[in-house]
Chain A
């Protein structure tokens, strides 16, 4: 966390010194600051910041890719005359425990086209998802757990 704040400060310093207040320049400053901090990292007391930063970026790209794939499928179904969907409401057991993990997961699932989180059971162990393309319920459960949930928990924990 301290390293992240330091990184932001370095980005601000870069924008102030170059005197060009644009978003692009700030991003350049942030990347340069990241490189500087990475070179100056301590070998004896490793910080989780660099690993976390990489994980967050990897997760963002993974999610954008999933978003794009699901979107194309739904778009295709909307624009062609036949309905190909096989909707179902599937119960998915949760490994996410805290409020934040569950709400992040439910939000990301709803954000993906074709899936919609409907309910969480009162004991917070099961998430009910309405999905539009289900060929096999167990396969769908595995996809959600191995794909989105596992990666999200890696980033959050």
Chain B
């Protein structure tokens, strides 16, 4: 039973890693590639670490696995955000199939200022907390 769970988690993890790798090759622009690779590494590594924790079933190993997953989940998105933000800053082009770019013209690379957009916020539509 325990072995089956371990194996299933391990296979799921490697599957996501492979898919993420294929996505990096197949997706047409940098932003989608970044999306693909970060998710693959967090989810894939997360599943593999869970499988490890199940296999050993000791407090020390489980704690380390959980801590590693936590740090991956916290740091992965930050690096993805920084890479794509820097890419947009130096003008890496979006795929020609991109249907909309609401950031265009609002970012000034010289001063690093991002202007905001006037959009009606739906704060008043939300149900009020009792």
Contacts and interface: CB of A to CB of B under 8 A. Distances in A.
Nearest to B42: A111
Q: Is the interface of A mostly helix, strand, loop or mixed?
A: mixed
A88 B101 contact: yes
B36 to A, nearest CB: 7
A128 B114 CA distance: 10
A14 B114 CA distance: 53
B35 A113 contact: yes
Interface stretch (A2-10, A17-25, A31-39, A41-49): A17-25
B22 A128 contact: no
Interface of B: 16, 19, 22-23, 26-29, 31-32, 34-36, 38-39, 42-43, 53, 57-59, 62-63, 73-74, 76-78, 80-81, 84-85, 88, 94-95, 97-104, 106-107, 113-117, 119-123, 126
17 contacts: A67-B43, A71-B16, A86-B97, A88-B99, A89-B102, A110-B76, A110-B81, A113-B35, A113-B36, A114-B35, A116-B35, A116-B81, A118-B81, A120-B114, A128-B106, A134-B99, A134-B100
